[in-house]
């Protein structure tokens, strides 16, 4: 009940705020400086909306509100997500390395898709110009790795909420904590490693 109420009460004013910004941007007498300020507010509003959705998602998982699980093939899910993942990666090279034709698991499909999405977004944010992202699948695990010029992340802090390794890091610091929550919810294990200039996140489906 709380999460439903919070979602409604927070999303409504954020949506109204965005619509008002849209109206302001359409004003013909708008100066370049005023337009720049409105664009900044627009981005901040989008960030608040994402933050709201992510916090509510964490609350729902912690209160076991995603009870429906089904038999899901991880290979099929990733292949269906591929066009979207490619759009997220932009100019980066997205590689796939599947050693299994299928990987059936018991999972909530929407949470699994969200986990993969957050891992790829994280790989994009911590990548380098002209870098690459590799999605690997084996008998019981999924690994998403990315090239990077950054040093290793703090393995003790990386899955904590609002952890950001530097001020240059974009995002609200909830992506990896959501990944960890999805794994905990299903009883999966997740680990982080930094080898040969690559950040690697591995999910073991138990």
Contact by Cβ (8 Å): 115, 183: yes
What pLDDT, on the 0 to 100 scale, is given for residue 77?
93
pLDDT given for residue 144 in this prediction: 95
Distance CA 154, CA 192 (A): 9
Are 161 and 174 in contact, with CB atoms under 8 Å apart? yes
Q: Which residue has the tokens 């034709």?
A: 101
User: Does pTM top 0.85 for this prediction?
Assistant: no
pLDDT tens for residues 138-164? 989 999 999 998 888 888 888 887 777
Residues of the chain with pLDDT under 50: none
Q: What is the pLDDT of residue 167?
A: 53
Classified as helix, coil or strand, 128 is coil
Radius of gyration of the chain, Cα coordinates, nearest whole angstrom: 19
Give dist(CA 155, CA 152) in Å, integer: 8
Pairing mode of beta strands 70-73, 104-107: antiparallel
pLDDT score of 171: 60
Give the pLDDT score at 135: 94
CA nearest neighbour of 181 among 71, 58, 32, 77: 58
Phi, psi of 198 (to 5 degrees): -125, 140
């Amino acid at each position: 009940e709380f999460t439903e109420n919070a979602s409604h009460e927070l999303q409504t004013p954020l949506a109204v705020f965005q619509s008002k910004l849209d109206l302001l941007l359409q004003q013909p007498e708008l100066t370049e400086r005023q337009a720049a300020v409105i664009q900044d507010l627009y981005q901040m509003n989008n960030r608040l909306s994402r933050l709201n959705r992510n916090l509510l998602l964490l609350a729902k998982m912690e209160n076991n509100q995603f009870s429906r699980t089904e038999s899901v093939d991880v290979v099929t899910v990733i292949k269906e997500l591929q066009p979207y993942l490619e759009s997220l990666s932009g100019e980066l090279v997205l590689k796939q390395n599947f050693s299994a034709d299928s990987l059936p698991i018991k999972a909530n499909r929407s949470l699994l898709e969200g986990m993969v999405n957050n891992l790829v977004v994280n790989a994009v944010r911590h990548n380098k110009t002209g870098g690459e992202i590799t999605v690997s699948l084996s008998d019981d695990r999924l690994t998403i790795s990315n090239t990077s010029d950054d040093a290793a992340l703090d393995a003790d802090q990386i899955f904590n909420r609002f952890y950001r390794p530097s001020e240059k890091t974009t995002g609200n610091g909830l992506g990896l904590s959501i990944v960890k929550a999805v794994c905990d919810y299903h009883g999966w294990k997740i680990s982080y490693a930094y080898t040969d200039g690559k950040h690697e996140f591995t999910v073991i489906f138990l």
